Amino acid sequence: MSSFNIALNFEDGVTRFIECKAGEKVLDAAFRARINLPMDCSDGVCGTCKCKAESGSYDLGDDYIEDALSDDEKDSGLVLTCQMVPQSDCVIAVPASSAVCKTGQSKCAATVAKIELHNDAAVVLELDVDTNAPVFLPGQYVNIDVPGSGQHRSYSFSSAPGDSKLSFLIKKIPGGVMSTWLEAAQTGDKLELIGPLGSFYLRDVQRPLLFLAGGTGLAPFLSMLEVLARANSQQKVHLIYGVTRDLDLVQVEAIEAYTAKLAGFSFSTVVADETSNHPRKGWVTQHIPADALNDGDVDVYLCGPPPMVDAVRKHFDDNGVKPNSFHYEKFTPNVVQKAA
């Protein structure tokens, strides 16, 4: 391979992808893309360019001093971008804002390809990209400008990176800005997207995964599952999908398809409505099987409304559950909040 794709995730949630040529250092590739990553010396002496490599393989060489990067820091995934030479695609967390690094959010134009209603609960929106197709990490989101409103709404990709169409699972809100626009929208209508954004995305898969989705918080997991299936992942993956009403259970057939496409995948659905005849009623926290937690050797991903996220965090704290990693994203009907 002559080059690698490097995702730079800035602390304000903006993600920019750069191309790093074989043998090229990340700092040099970023400057070539007109992104000013933090640096002072560029010689492995000052440590100013220190970032964290969250995935991928790379070589740091020996041309830096321990004061700039200690062995403990290196073992924890910290890198000096002035010395880091990627050997695969990588994801790098940059401890600075995109504004400080003088890079902005990417924009692209898109055209409505399909609008599919799911009961009165959600809408699947599919888009064709006209220009500058966004490159994103599974789990991230974009801001979509709502035509004629002067406002935007934030939605996670439910499609996988590289798909020919972009898809989104959008909660149907009576009187909502996007919901109202979608009621009259037609194939061929134009939209502008800004992003990708967000620090909620699938990291390197090295242990079992537990996915917890609330309502349309299912969207990023559909993207993640497709990426895992294409990579032929052999890790155990369990998804729990919780909703308020029976009618809120959407795209269950799409989820079920992954039981055949992805080895080790299983899922369950939960409905909160006490009057439902669903076999699993109540809250997601009441239906987490012990084996899905794998005695803590598990990476947990959670996307749902704030009360659900807070309830899961409290459940873990109260029961002494300490997963290897815990990534979550809260969302409200109008905005996606910063992930952790």
Q: What is the mean pLDDT of residues 239-267?
A: 95
213 with 317, same domain? Answer: yes
Q: What is the CATH number of the domain that holds 52?
A: 3.10.20.30
In a domain, 202, yes or no: no
Residue 171 pLDDT greater than 80, yes or no: yes
Task: Give the per-residue pLDDT at 337.
Answer: 45
Q: What is the mean pLDDT of residues 217-238?
A: 96
Task: Give the per-residue pLDDT at 58.
Answer: 96
Q: What is the mean pLDDT of residues 87-105?
A: 87
Residue 15 and residue 8: Cα distance in Å, rounded? 6
Task: Give the per-residue pLDDT at 86.
Answer: 96
52 with 158, same domain? Answer: no
Task: Give the per-residue pLDDT at 338.
Answer: 44
Measure CA 59 to chain center. 26
Task: Give the per-residue pLDDT at 252.
Answer: 95
Residue 112 pLDDT greater than 50, yes or no: yes
Rg (CA), the chain: 21
Torsion of CA 312, 315, 317, 319, to 10 degrees: -140
Torsion of CA 210, 216, 220, 226, to 10 degrees: 80
For 17-75, give the DSSP string. EEEEETT--HHHHHHHTT---S-S-SSSSS-TTEEEEEES-EE--S-S-TTTS-HHHHH
Give tens-digit pLDDT for 259-311: 999 999 999 999 999 999 999 999 999 999 999 999 999 999 999 998 999 99
In a domain, 340, yes or no: no
Q: What is the CATH number of the domain that holds 139?
A: 2.40.30.10
Among 48, 64, 94, identify where a domain stops: 94
Using a cut of 0.75, tell me whether the model's pTM lies above it: yes
90 with 157, same domain? Answer: no
β-bridge mates for residue 281, sequence order: 271
- Which residue in 98, 95, 89 sits closest to 3, CA to CA? 89
190 with 112, same domain? Answer: yes
177 with 216, same domain? Answer: no
Residue 129 and residue 302: Cα distance in Å, rounded? 28
Residue 176 and residue 140: Cα distance in Å, rounded? 22
Q: What is the CATH number of the domain that holds 264?
A: 3.40.50.80
In a domain, 100, yes or no: no
Q: What is the mean pLDDT of residues 108-133?
A: 91
Question: Where do we find the tokens 């242990």?
Answer: 207
190 with 249, same domain? Answer: no
Predicted confidence band of residue 333 (pLDDT cuts 50, 70, 90): low
175 with 281, same domain? Answer: no
Q: Which domain holds residue 301?
A: 209-330
In a domain, 338, yes or no: no
Residue 146 and residue 209: Cα distance in Å, rounded? 35
Among 147, 164, 197, identify where a domain stops: 197
189 with 253, same domain? Answer: no
232 with 193, same domain? Answer: no
In a domain, 265, yes or no: yes
Give tens-digit pLDDT for 24-64: 999 999 999 989 898 887 888 888 899 999 989 999 998 89
Predicted confidence band of residue 336 (pLDDT cuts 50, 70, 90): very low
Q: State both tokens at 108.
A: 């692209």
In a domain, 101, yes or no: no
Predicted confidence band of residue 169 (pLDDT cuts 50, 70, 90): very high
Residue 32 and residue 70: Cα distance in Å, rounded? 28
Predicted confidence band of residue 187 (pLDDT cuts 50, 70, 90): very high
For the chain, the domain total comes to 3
Among 94, 117, 143, identify where a domain stops: 94
For 233-298, give the DSSP string. --S-EEEEEEESSGGG--SHHHHHHHHHHSTTEEEEEEE--TT---SSBS-GGGG--HHHHGGG--
190 with 214, same domain? Answer: no
In a domain, 267, yes or no: yes
Mean pLDDT of the chain: 91
Predicted confidence band of residue 246 (pLDDT cuts 50, 70, 90): very high
Q: What is the mean pLDDT of residues 196-205?
A: 86
Give tens-digit pLDDT for 149-160: 999 999 999 999
Residue 4 and residue 299: Cα distance in Å, rounded? 26
In a domain, 284, yes or no: yes
Task: Give the per-residue pLDDT at 334.
Answer: 55
CB of 155 closer than 8 Å to CB of 170? yes
142 — phi, psi (to 5°)? Answer: -130, 160
Task: Give the per-residue pLDDT at 139.
Answer: 93
> Degrees (nearest 5) of the Cα angle 125, 248, 304?
80
124 with 176, same domain? Answer: yes
